[in-house]
Amino acid sequence: MTVCEYRPGLEGVPATQSSISYVDGQNGILEYRGIRIDKLAKHSTFLETSYLLIWGQLPTQDELDEFEHEIRYHRRLKYRIRDMMKCFPESGHPMDALQACAAALGLFYSRRALEDPAYIRAAVVRLLAKIPTMVAAFQLMRKGNDPVQPRDDLDYSANFLYMLNEREPDPLAAMIFDVCLNLHAEHTINASTFSAMVTASTLTDPYAVVASAVGTLAGPLHGGANEEVIMMLEEIGSVENVEPYLDKCLENKSKIMGFGHRVYKVKDPRATILQELAEKLFEKFGRDHYYDIAVELERLVEAKLGHKGIYPNVDFYSGLVYSKLGIPTDLFTPVFAIARVAGWLAHWKEQLEANRIFRPTQIYTGIHNAPYIPRGERQTAEGEPVVPELVASNP
Ligand code: SDX
């Protein structure tokens, strides 16, 4: 077997063959099962898009009605999971709470029947239905309140905003939130989806697969960037301070959160749609002055880094939309996870259909056939002998 060239971060290295989504990074194109993301953002709902991603085609009205009904029926959490959440520290990050709860689902559904389509569908329904309830429940419980039960009369996005804010959302807010979920649902072989695939390839349960992906999404270079962007805009504080702030980042060679992408070398098409959604919200609910800072930052980053293909990615404007919807900053990444569960599950299912356990190789850079040096004769890196009494104390 020939060993491929080592590429840091596996840049440009195909890890699978997939028909779920496609990204053209040079022309800013994203397609889910061949349908352009702007069409799905305009015409589809998150649950319809989830069905498309996972089962490969748009559902008929009857198929969608049945799927939506199943989701509504499975939104509630086992009381033991709610009791477990009561033990979490209020100061804990919601992504850690979500990862723990996603893994805990596996305690209740431990049977593994990965070859059974009914098992696959049941796992898809439970995870899509329960993840939003987990996020909203932790939010209320960390404030010392009881979580509210899901409302079966509300659709997916309206119900999440209701559980989070304890009041029915404005229809425009619920519609815009649903579009945000659509935009974040899938994005080929990003880090968290790759985690999901590697975990899936060992034939473990889907709850462990999603828990693995949640942990990966949490990082600031990936899904955690949306939270970092808002903190960055708050730190900049004014339009006048944008250029000095940016120049300091460039001088320190630090990354500007919400910009750059391994694949896109133009503005992320999702960022463009999210910017339009933010402006719709501002028209109805009032402008956010951080938006003016963001627009100025985008202008200056394009001027200074556009030649390197550094443009806004999906995380740059999403936080401004979520803030306007009343979502706390540290819940931005859990919201990203609510959406991306659809993509992770689509890749989990696709991986099982042609599975081979992931086991890459390495370029070994260590030594060979090294001697075993008795403890009393070892020296520290500075050439000092190890202190003998330390050795004597070992049993
Ligand atoms: C997501 O993969 C996906 O699809 C992810 C995602 C999805 O939907 O799943 O799209 C969601 O994770 C979006 C990305 C969110 N992360 C951020 O906004 C964090 C800031 N961005 C960077 O950390 C970075 O752009 C990455 C991590 C997104 C991509 O990193 P790469 O491809 O490994 O690029 P790199 O770090 O090797 O940088 C290449 C060059 C470097 O300059 P040189 O040393 O060659 O001169 O570009 C520069 C970098 O310094 N660069 C940046 C930059 N991103 C890259 N410079 C300033 N600010 C940035 N944000």
Domain contains 14: no
Question: In this structure, which residue's CA is closest to atom 20 in ligand 1?
Answer: 257
- Protein residues with CB under 6 Å of any ligand 1 atom: 9, 187, 190, 221-223, 225, 255-262, 308, 310, 313-315
Computed over every residue of the chain, the mean pLDDT equals 95
Mention every residue, 6+ apart, whose C-beta is less than 8 A from residue 260: 309, 310, 311, 313
Q: Are residues 186 and 206 in the same domain?
A: yes
Domain contains 240: yes
Confidence bin at 388 (pLDDT 50/70/90): low
Supply the CATH number for residue 259's domain: 1.10.230.10
Is 315 a residue of the active site?
yes
Asked whether residue 335 carries a pLDDT value surpassing 60, the answer given is: yes
Domain contains 149: yes
Alpha-carbon gap, residue 359 to 202, rounded angstroms: 10
Structure tokens, 159: 């119900």
Mention every residue, 6+ apart, whose C-beta is less than 8 A from residue 20: 32, 33, 53, 186, 188, 343, 346, 347, 350
Mention every residue, 6+ apart, whose C-beta is less than 8 A from residue 8: none
Asked whether residue 395 carries a pLDDT value surpassing 80, the answer given is: no
Domain contains 295: yes
The 10 Å Cβ neighbour count of residue 107 is: 12
Question: Residues 108-114: what's their mean pLDDT?
Answer: 87
Q: Are residues 242 and 209 in the same domain?
A: no
Domain contains 388: no
Q: Tell me: the pLDDT tens digits for 119-156? A: 999 999 999 999 999 999 999 999 999 999 999 999 99
Q: Are residues 206 and 87 in the same domain?
A: yes
Which amino acid, residue 188?
T
Catalytic residue among 184, 268, 315, 347: 315
Q: Are residues 202 and 345 in the same domain?
A: yes
Mutation probe of ligand 1 site: the residue of 95, 197, 227, 313 with most atoms within 8 A of C-beta: 313
Q: Could you tell me where the DSSP H helices lie in the chain? A: 37-43, 46-55, 61-73, 79-85, 94-108, 117-142, 156-165, 171-184, 191-200, 206-217, 225-236, 242-251, 269-285, 289-305, 315-324, 332-353, 388-393
pLDDT at 83: 96
Mutation probe of ligand 1 site: the residue of 182, 310, 333, 344 with most atoms within 8 A of C-beta: 310
The boundaries of the domain holding residue 145 are: 31-222+334-353
Q: Residue 3, SS3?
A: coil
Q: Are residues 205 and 243 in the same domain?
A: no
pLDDT at 4: 83
Check residue 295 and report its DSSP letter.
Answer: H
Domain contains 381: no
Catalytic residue among 261, 292, 347, 368: 261
Q: Are residues 114 and 236 in the same domain?
A: no
Q: How many domains are contained in the chain?
A: 2
Q: Are residues 303 and 171 in the same domain?
A: no
Q: Are residues 82 and 210 in the same domain?
A: yes
Question: Residues 55-61: what's their mean pLDDT?
Answer: 98
Q: Are residues 158 and 182 in the same domain?
A: yes
What phi, psi does 286 have (nearest 5°)? 100, 145
The 10 Å Cβ neighbour count of residue 38 is: 16
pLDDT at 3: 76
Domain contains 194: yes
Is 178 a residue of the active site?
no
Which residues are 352's β-sheet partners? none
Alpha-carbon gap, residue 318 to 332, rounded angstroms: 8
Q: Are residues 124 and 236 in the same domain?
A: no
Domain contains 374: no
Q: Are residues 151 and 273 in the same domain?
A: no
Which amino acid, residue 74?
H
Q: Are residues 240 and 269 in the same domain?
A: yes
